[in-house]
A and B are shown apart, each in its own frame.
Chain A
C-alpha cells in the first residue's frame, strides 16, 4: 500500500450561486433541493462538468424538512453531474457552507479525493413545519399499536389543541432568546452605536451594487426563476434613510438594531468548486486561490459568559499563531454581517486590550482592521443570508477578489453561527 500523500492545499476553482431572494417572495415555492440543484447546474455549466463525476459533494441546510434526509445526494441526482458522484449533508448553522468547504478541502489536502463541491442552501419561505409534540406522541403510539384495543387507546389520546403545528422560530433553544435579542445584548455591552451600524449597512449595499455594476458577479452567479440580482440589494441606501427606521431588537435607549442593520431572512443557495492543482490543470481550469487553513471555536453563551455571536473573536488568535500572522497582514477580510453590530463587536473585541488579555490570553491586542479591506464586495446585510448558503457565497467571492489582487494575496473569512459557534478560514490567491 502506498504511503498517504503529503498534505497539499486545496484549490478554490470557482463558485456559483443563485441570486438571494427575500423570504416569502420569488423563491417562496422553491425547495432547498430545487435551489441547491439550480446552484449545482450553474456550476456544472460554467466549468463544463456535465456527465462528469467529482470526488464528492458536501452541502447542507439549516431549516430542513425530514424528507430531505439525503438532501445533497438528491440534488446531485437532479443535476447534470454524473450520478456516480457521492454526496453527504453537513450542518453547522450559519457556518454550514464554510464548514462544508473545509471538509471537502481537507479531503483534497489529504489526497482522499481530487475534486469536490461544497455548498449550502436555505429557505426561510419553505420552512419545515412540525406537528405538535402531543400529536406526534399519539401518532407514533398509533403506529406502534398492534391490536384494535391499542389503536383505540392511541386515538383516544388525540386532543383538539394538538392540531396547532410547531413553526420553527429563530431562537436559541437553551435561552429562548432570538438571535437578534442576543446580539442586542452584546451590542449594548460593547457600546456599539446606531450610527456605526447604519453606516456599515449602507457600505454593504454600496459595495455590493458596485460589484454588480463592474460585472464582478458575471461568473459567480446564475439567475434563477427570473431573479438576476440579490433582491434585498438597495443601491440607493443612505445613512439618512436608515436613520428613520424603528429598532426591532433590544429595549429603550439601548435599542439600536433595525431591520436595515440586521440581516434579512432570505432564500438561496451557493456552491464552490474545489480541487487539487493537478485536477484543475488537467481540465485547464483556473485556480483562483488555495484554502490555507481553518479554525472553529465556540463560546459559553448559555450562562451569559460571552455573547452568542462572539466565537470568531476566539478562533482568530489560534489561526494567526499557526501562521505567524497579524490581522493587519490580510489583504482582504470577510466578516459575515449576521448583524452590523456583530461585525462591529468583533472588531471592537480585537481592538480591546482587556478583552484580548483576559479572554484571549494575548500579551497585546490584535488591533484595528483597516476598514477598506472589509467586505469590499458587500456582504450579508445587502445580499441577504440564506443561512447555509452564506459560506459558499463568501468563499467564491473572496477567492475571486484575492486573485484580482494578485498572487499571494491573503484573505480571512469569519462566520458566526447559532449555538455560540464561529468558523474561520484563510484563503491565499494562487
Chain B
C-alpha cells in the first residue's frame, strides 16, 4: 500500500478526519506467506438445500485445521464466509443471502473473505433458475463494494458435475494470494484437477516461461512461480538483459534474451525450456504502451503495440502450443488489462491489443486440440498496479487511480503474479477460459 492519500488517512490526524468525513481508509492487505494459515479465524460455511460444493469446502478447511462454523456466535469474528447457492431455483431462494451474509459481514475480520458459490446461468433449465443464478453476480459485486478493511467478495460459478473441481478456486479466494481480487466471477468447469503433494509448492517440478520478465509485473510473476516450485525461463528483449539476468539469478531461473516479435522467438524459448525437461506453463506477459489520442496516432505506435502485445503471442503460440511444445495438462496464462475491458483515453492501440488477448483466451480455451490435451487458457486483467510505469503517472491521476476501487489502494505486482500462479496449478485444471481482473474491484471495467 502506497500513496500520499493512504499515508495521510492512516496518520493520527488523518484517521480522525477520515472517520468524521466517511472517507475510505486503505488498510495493509493480507498477502500470502507460506507459513501463514490459509485464512485467519473460523470460516462460516452455509448453503441452500444439499449445497454440494459446501461439503467439499468443509473437507478442505478441516484438512487445513481451520474451524468451520454454521452460524456467527455473538461477539465472535470470522475470517471468511462461504455460501453455496448452487441450488437456487427461483428468486425467492435468494433471501438466504440476506439471512446468512448480513450477520456474517458484520463479524468479518480485516482482509476477510466472502465467497458465493453458484451455478452457471447458461445451463439453467428454467427461466426462473437462470434469473436467480444470474442474480448472484449482482449480489457478489455489491457486497464487495460494501465490505471494509481489505475484505473481498467473489463469485465462483461451478458447472454441473464439476462440484469437486472448485477446491483450488475456493482455496485461492480464501487465501492472501487473492488480496487484490475483488468482485470477480470465476467459472469452474470440467477437467481433472490433481492436488499437489505440498500446497506450499504447488508448481514443484514444473517448467514455466514468462515473457517480459526483466522488471515490474513480469519479474514478480517469475518470482512467484519460482517460489511455488517452478523452474522459470525468463524472457525479455536483449536491451533489458541486465535486469533480466538479475531476475533469473535471484530465483535460480534461466534468462533468454529475445525480442518476442522475432521470428524465432517461440523456438528459442522452447529450446530453453527443453533444457529443463519440457514446458508446462506459458505466461504471455510482455507488452508495451505507446499512448496517443487516436486523432494523433501514427502508424508505428499503432502497429508496434499490436505486434508486441498481440501478434507476437499468436506467432509464438504456433511453436509453444504446437505438437512438441507445451506438455499435456499444461497452462497458458495471458496478461490482458483493465484497459482492454473498459477502454482508456489515449490507449486505443493498447486497449485493442489487450481486448484482443481476451478474444484469444475465448478461442484458445475451446480449441479442440488444446482441450483434448487438457491445456487451460486464462487471462488476468490488472487494474492500477504499483509499478515503475504507474510511478511515472502524474500525481493526481495516480492518487485517483489508487482510490477508485473497493480496496481504496493500488495493487502490487505480486497480486497479479499470485493469480497467474493459481491459474498455473494442476489443482485448478477445471478453470479455463476465464478472465480475472486483479483490480480491487476497480470502478473501471466493472
* Residues on A facing B (Cβ under 8 Å): 38, 41-42, 44-48, 50-51, 80, 215, 217-219, 221-225, 228, 283-286
Q: Given A215-B262, A222-B242, do A45 and B254 touch, yes or no (CB 8 Å)? A: yes
Closest CB-CB distance, A123 to chain B, in whole Å? Answer: 18
What 0/1 pattern do residues 282 to 316 of B give for CB contact below 8 A with A? Answer: 00000000000000000000000000000000000
Q: Is the CB of B252 within 8 A of A51?
A: yes
Contact B248–A45 (Cβ < 8 Å): yes
Do A218 and B258 form a contact, CB below 8 Å, given A50-B248, A284-B274, A285-B275? yes
B417 smallest CB distance to A (angstroms): 19
**A48-B242 contact, Cβ under 8 Å, with A80-B249, A283-B275, A284-B275:** no
What is the chain B residue whose CB lies nearest that of A42?
B245
B243: nearest residue on chain A (CB-CB)?
A: A223
| B246 at interface, CB cutoff 8 A | yes
Number of B residues near A (Cβ < 8 Å) is 27
**Contact between A50 and B253 (Cβ–Cβ < 8 Å)?**
yes
B241 with A221: CB separation less than 8 A: yes
With a cutoff of 8 Å between Cβ atoms, the chain B residues found around residue A41 in the complex are 245-246, 249
Closest Cβ neighbor of B244 among chain A residues: A45
In-complex Cβ contact of A45 among B249, B258, B275 (8 A): B249
| CB neighbours of B256 from chain A (8 A) | 46, 219
- Is A218 a contact of B274 with CB atoms below 8 Å? no
Does B239 reach chain A (CB closer than 8 Å)? yes
A239 CA / B337 CA spacing, docked (Å): 52
Tell me the bound Cα distance from A224 to B245 in angstroms.
11
Q: Which residues of B contact A228 (CB under 8 A)?
A: 238-239, 241
- Cα–Cα distance between A225 and B243 once the two chains are bound (Å): 10
B235 to chain A, nearest CB (A): 11
Residues on the B chain within 8 Å of A80, using CB? 249-250
Residue of B nearest to A284 (CB): B275
Pick the contact of B245 from A45, A215, A217, A285 — CB < 8 Å?
A45
In the bound complex, residues from chain A placing their C-beta under 8 Å from that of B271 are: 286
Give CA–CA (A232, B214) in the complex, Å.
26
The reply to whether A46 and B254 contact each other, CB–CB distance below 8 Å, is: yes
Please indicate the chain A residues that have their CB under 8 angstroms from the CB of B276 in the complex: 48, 284
User: Which residue in chain B gives the minimum CB-CB distance to A16?
Assistant: B245
Flag if B249 contacts A224 (CB, 8 Å). no
Q: How far is the CB of B206 from chain A (nearest CB, A)?
A: 15
Chain B residues with Cβ below 8 Å from A286 are 271
A-B contacts, 8 of them at CB < 8 A, read A42-B255, A45-B248, A45-B254, A46-B256, A50-B248, A215-B258, A223-B241, A284-B276
List chain B residues, Cβ under 8 A from A218.
Answer: 238, 257-258
In the assembled complex, the Cα of A47 lies from the Cα of B250 at a distance in Å of 14
Q: CA of A54 to CA of B271 in the docked complex: distance in angstroms?
A: 23
In the docked arrangement, what's the CA distance between A218 and B250, Å?
21
Q: Within the complex, what minimum Cβ distance (angstroms) separates A377 from chain B?
A: 16
> With A42-B245, A48-B231 as given contacts, are A223 and B252 in contact (CB-CB < 8 Å)?
no
Separation in Å of the B369 CB from the closest CB of chain A? 27
Least distance between B278 CB and chain A CB atoms (Å):
10
Task: Give A78 Cβ to nearest chain B Cβ, in Å.
Answer: 12
Q: Are A45 and B255 in contact (CB under 8 A)?
A: yes
Q: List B residues at the A interface (Cβ < 8 Å).
A: 231, 234, 238-242, 244-246, 248-258, 262, 271, 274-277
CB distance from A85 to the nearest CB of B (A): 14
Q: Report B-chain residues with C-beta under 8 Å of the C-beta of A45.
A: 234, 244-246, 248-249, 253-255
C-alpha gap A285/B275 in the complex (Å)? 6
Contacts of B239 in A (CB 8 A): 223, 228
Where chain A touches its partner, the secondary structure class is loop
Given contacts A223-B240, A223-B242, contact A46 B249 (CB under 8 A): no
Cβ of B274: which chain A residues have Cβ within 8 Å of it? 284
Taking the nearest CB of chain A, how far is it from the CB of B123, in angstroms?
46
**Chain A, residue nearest B277 (CB):** A284
Nearest-neighbour CB distance to chain B for A119, whole angstroms, equals: 16
Also in contact, A222 and B245, with CB within 8 A (given A48-B275, A50-B252, A228-B238):
yes
Task: Check A42 against B241 for contact (C-beta < 8 Å).
Answer: yes
Closest to B247 in A: A45
Q: Is the CB of B275 within 8 A of A224?
A: no
Known: A41-B245, A48-B248, A50-B248. 4 other contacts (CB 8 A): A45-B234, A45-B255, A284-B274, A286-B271
Question: In the complex the two chains form, what is the Cα distance from A51 to B249 in whole Å?
Answer: 8
Q: Using Cβ atoms and an 8 Å threshold, which residues of chain A touch B258?
A: 215, 218
What 5 pairs across the A-B complex have the smallest Cβ distances? A284-B275, A45-B245, A45-B255, A48-B254, A45-B248
User: Which residue, of B256, B257, B271, B275, has the highest number of chain A Cβ atoms within 10 A?
Assistant: B257
A180 to chain B, nearest CB (A): 34
CB-nearest residue of chain A relative to B274? A284
Contacts of B245 on A, CB cut-off 8 Å?
A: 41-42, 44-46, 222
CA distance A41 to B245 in the complex (A): 7
Evaluate contact between B241 and A47: CB separation under 8 angstroms. Answer: no
A217 cross-chain contacts in B, Cβ below 8 A: 238
Contacts of A44 in B (CB 8 A): 245, 249
Known contacts A48-B248, A48-B253: A222-B241 contact under CB 8 Å: yes
B234, B242, B246, B254: the one within 8 Å of A47 (CB): B254
CA distance A164 to B4 in the complex (A): 55
Quick one: closest A residue to B239, CB to CB?
A: A228
Expressed in whole angstroms, the minimum distance between the Cβ of A270 and any Cβ of chain B is: 14
A66 vs chain B, min Cβ distance (A): 29
Residues of A with C-beta under 8 A to B242: 38, 42, 222-225
Q: In the complex, how many angstroms separate the beta carbon of A80 from the nearest chain B beta carbon? A: 4
What residues of chain A lie closer than 8 Å to B248, measured between beta carbons? 45, 48, 50
| Smallest CB separation, A299 vs chain B (Å) | 40
Give the most central of B242, B244, B277: most A CB within 10 Å. B242
- Chain B's closest residue to A219 (CB) is B257
> In angstroms, how far is the closest chain A Cβ from the Cβ of B272?
9
Bound Cα distance from A262 to B23, whole angstroms: 70
User: Which residues of chain A come closer than 8 Å to B241, judged between CB atoms?
Assistant: 42, 221-223, 228
Nearest A residue to B271 via CB reads A286
Contacts of B244 in A (CB 8 A): 45
Q: How far, in angstroms, from A51 to B253 measured CA to CA in the complex?
A: 10
Chain B CB within 10 A, most for which of A47, A215, A285: A215
The CA of A234 and the CA of B135, in the complex, are separated in Å by 67
Question: CB-nearest residue of chain A relative to B257?
Answer: A218
Give A286 to B271 CA distance when docked, in angstroms.
10
Instruction: List A contacts of B252 (CB < 8 A).
Output: 48, 50-51
Instruction: Give Cα A157 to B258, complex, Å.
Output: 62
Closest A-chain residue to B273, C-beta based? Answer: A284
List chain B residues, Cβ under 8 A from A224. Answer: 242
In the complex, what residues of A have CB within 8 A of residue B257's CB? 46, 218-219, 222
* Nearest residue, chain B, Cβ from A80: B249
- Chain B residues, Cβ within 8 Å of A285: 275
Interface centre among A41, A45, A47, A224 (most CB of B within 10 A): A45
Q: Give the Cβ gap from B22 to chain A, nearest Cβ, in Å.
A: 48
- Separation of A218 and B240 alpha carbons in the complex (Å): 11
What is the CA–CA distance of A285 and B231 in the complex, to the nearest angstrom? Answer: 15
Residues of B within 8 A of A219 (CB): 256-257
- Complex CA distance for A51 and B231, rounded to whole angstroms: 13
**How far, in angstroms, from A223 to B241 measured CA to CA in the complex?**
6
Closest to A283 in B: B275
Given the complex of chains A and B, what is the CA–CA distance between A284 and B273 in angstroms?
10
Q: What separation, in Å, do the CA atoms of A54 and B68 have in the docked complex?
A: 52
C-alpha spacing A38/B250, complex, angstroms = 14
Q: Bound state CA distance, A27 and B390, in angstroms? A: 30
Q: How far is the CB of A11 from chain B (nearest CB, A)?
A: 15
